[in-house]
Structure 1
Amino acid sequence: MVTSQLLWGKYIQYVRDGEGALLDPVTLDSVYLDRGEVTDLSAVPPTATHKALAELGFTPDSPSADQREALRDRLHQLGLDPVPVRISGLRVVLTDACNMKCSYCFVETNTGKPDMTEQEIADGLTYLFETNAGRDEVAIQWFGGEPTTRFDLMQHGDALADSLATQYDVNRVRRTVVTNGARITDAMIDHFARYEYGVGISIDGPPAINAEHRRLLGGQPADDRIRRNVRRLLDAGGIHVGCNLTPTPANIGRLADTVAWIIDDLGLKFIYANTPIPTSGRWTVKGKELARELYQARLVALGRGGMMFSVLDRAFQALDRRRPMLFDHVQSDRTLNVALLPGNRVSLCDINFTASSFLHTLDELRADPNLLGGIAKNVAPIPECGQCPALAICGGPSRNEQLLIRGDRPDPQMCDFYRNTVEIAVWDSTGVQ
């Protein structure tokens, strides 16, 4: 059993089976303590352990500032700013038409609204390339609904992207598509191979699990069809095929087995586990369970020669680099991926297509690039954030989460998730001195 407490008003002290670890939640420094040092630390100072910790920067003096302010100061010192500098990637939402009905989908599908037009694709891609003129790379992801229902638009957009890359001196176009995998033709496979696509297959586990939340519109499962299409994509060569795995009540408790099945049976070695989105204003899974299951699933993937990425990796990366990882809305270079929507509209949040505070026209963004600041995270918005071990890794809810939960106070399950991810990373010896 692991216990934790706040030490000297600024460090998190973990103890497990007599051994300990200290974490500075602002600087992300951490140190391991053996049983003797844990005992010594509880004695009247100064002891040998107190002196050794002081040499490593762990001192008993009171914090000079509120922990939340200390984090903001550190972000400033490191040049970490939540405001994006430009848009470098588009999630192009071609259509809301979909051949499946997934209970947890954040997109309102099959509304009958018009699909994107070729001219709207041209307008959006032109904006993307002109904004990134002379740069190394831009990213285009085809999305829906089910984007393969408008494969013609994907073909049009890819041909146009080639031309725009030459015109604006952009070295590389990284292309991906997110699909349920139920509708893959030979022409699509040839196209994906030609452009070295990344194809993300959304699947939640073996048939009994996947069918719980992911079925065709007629109500029947599509697992056999998806399995065949995955094999065709893998056999084609030149296509980077991975799995988008969404934790749900159906697979929580079986995530490790699910990952083993995805690697062993489907043959997919790259797995990305989505973060629960509180579309109903709350998480639908338990945060502590999710953190522990993602860790076990990560180990299963590594043991099978695969890779599984999730929000859990933010804790590992932050502790390893001793660098805050709380700005999940931007890329490491402070650029932004946004959603391009029909009607020449852009959502600054690529997983929320309806919130008015995120929506702008291309002309508005051209006229005022400062509008990108509308997605910037409000760091540690509530006092409780200052006492949290995940202060510099979570940093509080994103702007999208604030909208969905209608306030600054995170879902308790989100807090449990991040607290436990940090604990797991510390005991995994990530970054520990």
Structure 2
Amino acid sequence: MYKRSDFPAGFQFGASTAAYQIEGHSFGGAGRTHWDDFAATSGNVVRAENGAVACDHYHRWEADLDLIRDAGFDAYRFSTSWARVLPEGRGAVNAEGLDFYDRLVDGMLERGIKPMITLYHWELPSALADLGGWANNDVAKWFADYAEIIMGRVGDRIWKTATINELYCVSVLGYLTGHHAPGTRNVRAAVRAMHNVSLAHGTAVEALRAAGYGDLGAVCNFTHHRPVDDSPETAAAMQRADDLDNRFFLSGFFKGAYPEGLVELVGQHLPEGWQDDMKTVSTPVDWLGVNYYFSTIVAADDGPWPAVRQVEGPLPKTQMGWEIYPDGLRHFLRMCADEYSGETPLYITENGMANADLVDGGAVADQVRIDYLDQHFAKARQAIDEGVPLEGYFVWSLMDNYEWALGYEKRFGIVHVDFDSQERTPKASYHALKAALAS
């Protein structure tokens, strides 16, 4: 396996998690979220499972931070829950919530772990969902206010701050496909949400920078596409897929404009006066996070925008059914640096795989995950050699957790979690990473 010594001096290695997926949202005075509502709706989530208990990280955070320290990770990318801090999304602050994150950040520093905070990882307070959520243009101000509150408490000790995790998933999966909360399937709401989540990012960056905070970044997810054939129809579908999946948010952040082809197709759904927001959307960031997992084969579809369908491909697949294509990581690191972010430092903020891991004799053999990570380390190293300003890599995820609409079935962790007993068992991948980071 690639080792720490194979990367430049100062390269940062870390692990990532998300609040709703691990904390246990029924604890500590947290407010209701649209994920609670989504999961309580028949047919949305496997076995209608939710994040009420999750990994009980709310009570077990000290031992979990010990796992991060003992693995030799430099940093921990965690998220804060909007509804834990502001149960109604606005107004009264939940002191227990702020106290929890205060303890958590101090616990990282006590263990020599750099805190990398993500302010939003998908758990919108239900009270704001009632008002239209991300489809309501006012959400940008609501989010910036929340960002200032949480950073006002812990921001003096944070290493790096990300605004919103995977804006594509927040807007497209939440409002177009309906696969994620709030489960809306409405193109007008989706396109507005795409813009509003971009505006919320920029508004928060402006507010936090004005308050004196630095090292502010964005985190985008990317999906690699391969054409099903060489027809003009497929080429056009590839462009539509790329504009939606990979370029919309980058273009807004770094060029102050959305892809022309996408605007021509669905720009009528954007909020009135959206062009006036683009200066805020493109507020400069200090770093960019790249989340990458898989590749897919693209074909044209006869339906409405984006008129794209995915075709099952021949490559090895993860437990999610996602095709493993390591060179896609290098592709997007190059794309970001060459076409958008330039010399802005890049971090791989999520990369990993789900596998049907089982505890056997007190151990978990997940060689397939070790191979996956090693193949992606190789592509990260190659990108650095090609001049990409890549400065860190964060594995997804520290531990098995609540995998959103798929409940607790899909295991992404390098630490196994028994969701009945909450027992943690470091997997072979954890031990392999520990050895690689020690060398």
TM-score over 0.5 (shorter chain): no
Greater Rg over alpha carbons, structure: 1
User: TM range, normalised to the smaller chain?
Assistant: 0.3 to 0.5
Query: TM-score, normalization: structure 2?
Result: 0.44
More helix by share: 2
Q: TM-score, normalised by structure 1?
A: 0.44
